[in-house]
Chains A and B, each alone.
Chain A
Amino acid sequence: MIEVTSGWYMSLAAVLFSIGLLGILVRRNALIMFMCVELMLNAVNLTFVAAGRALGSLEGQVSVFFVLVVAAAEVVVGLAIIVAIFRRRESASVDELSELRG
């Protein structure tokens, strides 16, 4: 009888986190990259919840709220930046923002 342990969830979270990272590495649309960050944060949340269950601790779930708040704040600022850029250059591709290098 296979039982789903919290390890399963955490493994899934790890996969999701990795996918998120992969997205950062291969995409150049700021919005998509930002969504990938959200993906990573969600993976973290899943880890928190699953670990909390396995450990019998509520702290994991509480932490999720804070991650959520942070994510929300980031979204606000991040989207503001993206909007500000878009208003000037009509593109969300960060590749066009590569004057600073070397």
Chain B
Amino acid sequence: MIEVVIFIVVGAAAIGGALAVVFAKNPVYGALGLLGTLFSLGVFYVVNLAHLVAAVQVIVYAGAVLTLFLFVIMMIGVDKDDDTTEKLRFHRPLVGGLAVITLVVGGALALGGRFDWVPTVAGAETPPNGTVEAIAGRLFTDWVLAFEVTALLLTIAAAGAVALAYFKPDGSEPEE
């Protein structure tokens, strides 16, 4: 029962945060909305026995990533509200149409009763416990290649960031 309450309350927060991201005119509010969502999800991870994931979510995502976002927002300028008037004439109605179709399809699936999120498989009775050991056990065995590949990703990120955003102190291009 308590889980239901948590789900409803925290879930509402998550959705609220998400909606804030989408509809807030000021990017700062959007970022804060995203923060709310991220925290909410962290709560859900805990509920779902994904402790390490939850911790990382809060530390990396909410801590690092979002900070970076806020930093850029600040740099670009907080005081500016976004212009949200639509220039494309048919865009909004069309997007609305898509939303409606999504709702209809989703609703049909949900209410049609011909829908399972997960199939019944053996071993599902014991939910996995996302401890550090358990996760590490997977990461350093079967997932070791994937783990190594992330190094490539980070190299690219570093090299790319430098290539794209490094300017000389006077703001000029390094050379062209």
Contact = CB atoms under 8 A, between A and B. Distances in A.
A79 B21 contact: no
Nearest to B103: A18
- Range class of the A interface residue count: 35 or more
Interface string B52-77: 11001100110011001100110110
Contacts of B57: 45, 68
Interface in B1-29: 1, 3-4, 7, 11, 14-15, 18-19, 21-22, 27
Interface string A8-47: 1111101110111011011111011011101100100110
Interface residues of B, number: 78
Interface of B: 1, 3-4, 7, 11, 14-15, 18-19, 21-22, 27, 30-31, 34, 37-38, 41, 44-45, 48-50, 52-53, 56-57, 60-61, 64-65, 68-69, 72-73, 75-76, 82-84, 86-87, 91-92, 95, 98-99, 102, 106, 110, 117-118, 121, 123-128, 130, 134-135, 138-139, 143, 146, 150, 153-154, 156-158, 160-161, 164-165, 167, 171
Interface of A: 1-12, 14-16, 18-20, 22-23, 25-29, 31-32, 34-36, 38-39, 42, 45-46, 49-62, 64-66, 68-73, 75-77, 79-84, 86-87, 92-93, 95
